[in-house]
Amino acid sequence: MDRPFQALRISDRVFWVGAIDWTLRDFHGYLTSRGSSYNAFLVLGDQVTLVDTVKKPFFDEMMSRISSVVDPARIRNVVSLHAELDHSGCLPQLVAAVRPDRVLTSKAGVATLAAHFDLDVPVEPVPNAAAVDVGGARFTFHEARMLHWPESMIGVLDGDNIMFTQDAFGMHVASHERFADELPADIVDYETAKYFANVLMPYSSPMSKLLDKLGDVISGAKVIATDHGPIWRRGQADVVAKYRTWCDRRAARKVVIVYASMWQSTASMARAIAEGAHEGGARVKLMALDQAHRSDVLTELLDAAALLVGSPNLNGQMFPTVADLLTYLKGMKPRNLIGAAFGSYGWSTTAADQVHETLKELKVELVREPLVVKYVPRDADLLACREFGRQLAAKVCETVA
Ligand code: FEO
């Protein structure tokens, strides 16, 4: 049926019926410079089943895509793999509009959905890791606790071998291309890494366990149907391998230097340290926080061995953009980093000390006391910064193959 928004066929009986959010630029603190999509999927069996929904403002777009395949009133089952509002936000509208027989979710999902909505429909738990018939289509659901919410789960449509992985293996990219292999590989690689760094990094341990259990199944899936961005019909084993590398925090010989500066003194120190780190054999990424977003810093940390954070002193405090980054890092828990604090000061070194203490809290292995320069660095100070960069890179090269 011709509708303003059309579905896309994924297999004989599975259709993408999601929504594209072209203008999204902030996803709870994550810079989504390429927008995103909320992917929902229609499965046609003896009955019609909808897997996940979309963010509330996109209800009409989803319904239009569903209507291009079937009358939405034929939806009898709704599967909620993840209760976060970008995937469940229009559940109340959907339930009111189509009156399904049931909403199926994980055991924990029953309580989570109840804490979000007063849904006028039975909300039933599905068995974990056992095949279940949903309207004539056989699914196996696997609990995926803390990936990245307690109620998250993954569904496999048996026969079609399509894995519905909700947030996992996703990326924030808005595009009409629905398959990752239809987009430039550099964009796909960067956005997949950025997504892992900013959504899944704190949950590397449960992700690692999930990959131990299901990695081969996911690698062998015909399609990995994630809830954000393009879906995977090629390179499934490669993306699983990347996830393993990131979960294990396998670092490269890479130093990330991030700083704020008021009068370019801390900036000069950063550049001199970068010069030395390069001479010492490390790859360097230097990021100024008046330009670089916290989520882009996290992406660079995914394969970094060292993190250096520079801050000037502003009224006895670290610079606000540095505090913002460090607060974000506390939640994201990057691991296996060495590092140090540095910065210029006037009459108190409080800022560099605060950064030092926060890095300690983050379990960064500190290689020295804060490197500080009073007011404006002279050549001798910058030479000391460069030497520090060299020493740090030597330590990185010692520990990273
Ligand atoms: Fe895409 Fe955790 O929501």
Reported as a pLDDT band with limits 50, 70 and 90, residue 401 is confident
Instruction: Name all residues whose Cβ lies below 6 A of ligand 1.
Output: 82, 84, 86-87, 148, 167, 227-228
- Residue-wise pLDDT for 272-316, tens only, equals 999 999 999 999 999 999 999 999 999 999 999 999 999 999 999
Q: Residue 273 corresponds to which amino acid? A: I
The set of catalytic residues is: 28, 82, 84, 86, 148, 167, 195, 228
Question: How far does residue 88's CA lie from ligand 1's centre (Å)?
Answer: 9
CB 172 within 8 A of CB 24: yes
Strands 75-79 and 48-51, by their bridges, are: parallel
SS3 assignment, position 305? coil
Q: Amino acid identity of 297? A: V
The number of the ligand 1 atom at minimal distance from the alpha carbon of 228 is 1
What's the 26 CA to ligand 1 centre distance in angstroms?
Answer: 13
Q: Which atom of ligand 1 is nearest to the CA of 227?
A: 1
pLDDT, position 1: 83
pLDDT tens for 101-125 read: 999 999 999 999 999 999 999 999 9
Mean per-residue pLDDT over the chain, rounded: 97
pLDDT of 66 reads: 98
DSSP structure class, residue 271: H
pLDDT at 268 over 90: yes
pLDDT score of 253 more than 90 = yes
| Residues 6+ away with beta carbon under 8 Å from 347 | none
Cα of first residue to Cα of last residue in the chain, in angstroms, is 57
Q: How confident is the model at residue 158 (pLDDT cuts 50, 70, 90)?
A: very high
Atom 3 in ligand 1: which residue has the minimum CA distance?
Answer: 84
Q: Which of 19, 37, 9, 26 has the alpha carbon at shortest distance from 230?
A: 37
- Going by C-alpha positions, the residue among 28, 140, 26 that lies closest to residue 84 is 28
Quote the percentage of the chain above a pLDDT of 70. Answer: 100
Residue for token pair 């690692």: 208
List of residues 6+ apart from 341 with CB closer than 8 A: 308, 309, 310, 311, 352, 353, 355, 356, 359, 366, 370, 371
CB count in 10 Å sphere of residue 244: 15
286 CA to centre of ligand 1 in angstroms = 30
Cα of 373 to ligand 1 centre, how many Å?
A: 44
Write the DSSP string, 338-394: EEEEEEEESS--HHHHHHHHHHHHTT-EE-SS-EEEESS--HHHHHHHHHHHHHHHH
12 alpha carbon – ligand 1 mean position (Å):
27
The ligand 1 atom at the shortest distance from the C-alpha of residue 85 is: 3
Whose CA is closest to atom 2 on ligand 1? 84
Segment 10-15 mean pLDDT? 97
Give the mean pLDDT of 142-164: 96
DSSP string of 213-231? HHHHHHHT-SEEEESSS-B
**Which residues have C-beta within 8 Å of that of residue 71, sequence separation ≥ 6?**
none
What mean pLDDT do residues 332-359 have? Answer: 96
Strands 36-38, 75-79: pairing is unpaired
Ligand 1, atom 1, lies closest to the CA of: 167
